[in-house]
Amino acid sequence: MANGILSEFSQSDINIFMRDFMQILKSGFGIDRVYAHPVLSHSGSVIDDSIKQFELAVSQFNKKYTGIKLKTRKMIDSFNVEVFVKERNLKDFFANSASRIAGLKSIGSSPTSMIEVSNAESFSAFIDRMQDKLFVQYSDQQNGSSSINASFGSKEKMVQIIYEQSEITNPNSASFRVSAYYSLKNKFNRKIEVHSEASRFGYYSLLSETEKREWYDLHNPRFLE
């Protein structure tokens, strides 16, 4: 995995980030599942306490890795973990990271308006006029197909990685690698513990045995074994 955009980092550092990042996401996905449950969402203090603990773990993550910022967002029927990277605009984001990932195939403002990299004139013109939306597709023999969906948040003044769960939890995907790049490009604080803090939540006990098995299958990808 330590190739391309991540080649400047040691495998040990990548593994530390992956362990922290995947546990944060896994716990966030689990909380969302309970939060959105028609019965469990109003089950009382367990889920409320879990969210408070989780937000503390997210705060620790943000202190540990200064080039990336995670934010939680509670909606009526969902609990989301948003991923932001610290770039001042999408042009810089593309130049500094997204364009450096192997297998760059096409770019556009959405999946339905893509420009192939082979179309040099149109490709360059899109980069020049890029503003607040970016979708990038990759096809690489080693890492397979993946994509990055990003937008510039005028409120946060950062670039948001809009991800699919199955994509960002795949360490070969472009969205994971770009998240790792911004997290590791500045020195991170090894003294801050994230993984164990992100594991301490009580919502799991609220699930049925069938739901527990489904949760485990969904949120424990093999690369973390």
| Residues 42-76: b if buried by 16+ CB within 10 A, e if exposed | eeeebbeebbebbeebbebbbebbebbbbbbeeee
Q: 187 pLDDT exceeds 60?
A: yes
pLDDT tens, residue by residue, 1-29: 445 899 999 999 999 999 999 999 988 88
Q: Which residue has the higher pLDDT, 161 or 187?
A: 161
- What is the Cα–Cα distance from 95 to 3, expressed in whole angstroms? 18
pLDDT at 131: 87
- Cβ–Cβ under 8 Å, residues 195 and 206: no
Q: 219 pLDDT exceeds 50?
A: no
Domain that holds residue 119: 4-224
User: Which pLDDT band holds residue 212 (cuts at 50, 70, 90)?
Assistant: low
- What is the Cα–Cα distance from 132 to 156, expressed in whole angstroms? 13
- What is the Cα–Cα distance from 122 to 112, expressed in whole angstroms? 15
pLDDT tens, residue by residue, 126-160: 999 998 999 999 998 888 899 999 999 888 899 99
pLDDT at 220: 56
Tell me how many domains the chain contains: 1
Q: 67 pLDDT exceeds 80?
A: yes
Strand (E) or helix (H) holding 64: helix 45-64
Q: 209 pLDDT exceeds 60?
A: no
Cβ neighbours for 157, distance < 8 A, ≥ 6 positions apart: 88
Q: What is the DSSP string of 143-180?
A: TEEEEEEEEEETTTTEEEE---HHHHT-TTSHHHHHHH
Neighbours of 9 (CB within 10 A): 16
Q: 84 pLDDT exceeds 70?
A: yes
Say how many Å lie between the first and final Cα of the chain, rounded.
16
The CA distances from residue 51 to 20, 71, 77, 82, 127, in Å, are 17, 12, 14, 15, 40
pLDDT at 211: 53
When pLDDT is averaged across residues 172-200 and rounded to a whole number, the result is: 91
pLDDT at 216: 56
- Cβ–Cβ under 8 Å, residues 69 and 84: yes
Burial of 8 (0-12, 13-18, 19+ CB in 10 A): exposed
